[in-house]
Amino acid sequence: MATAPVIRLGAAVSAAVAVPAVALGAAVKGWPGAYAALLGIGVVVAFFSISKIAVGFVGRRAPHLLLPAALGTYLVKIALLGVLLVSLSGVEAIHLLTLAWTVFAGVFGWIGAEMWVATHTRVPFFDPAAFASRHPAPADPGASARGAAGPGAGR
């Protein structure tokens, strides 16, 4: 899947999610709610963008390492999220429940953007060169019916 369209659309959807999230966070919990919503959207954009860029980089240079790259970025993201949440525990300036709900909404928005890009771009989900080398082009189906003499034989 193309990296740039996913990041652009994901960022746009995240901005669309951020506007009501920040407004709602500010209305319900004041500045801690607004800060939490901004941080939540920032986490979503950073985490999805970094993993897309990293996996795309590996995919272009060493496609056989895509699975380790994807799992490695996932492991790093989860560890960083855990560190972030532990470090924010007890911080009065960030409302953690607002942060959690904003991340939740942002993740679903970003996944929706990825699905839209995947279904609206013409990018093969297989390696055409590898497929062609394993499966030669089918023979002309009419060649066996015409026989060795060719199309004008038998007249």
User: Cβ contacts of residue 10 below 8 Å, gap of 6+?
Assistant: 45, 48, 49, 109, 110, 113, 114
> Which pair of structure tokens corresponds to residue 61?
């240079």
Please compute the mean of the pLDDT values over residues 17-39 and round it to a whole number.
96
- pLDDT at position 151, please? 55
Model's pTM, two decimal places?
0.75
Rg (CA), the chain: 25
Sequence ranges of the domains in the chain: 3-121
Digit-coded pLDDT (tens) for 134-150: 766 666 666 555 555 55
> Which pair of structure tokens corresponds to residue 126?
């297989």
- pLDDT at position 134, please? 73
| 41 contacts 17 by C-beta, under 8 angstroms | yes
- For 38, the enclosing helix (H) or strand (E) is helix 31-61
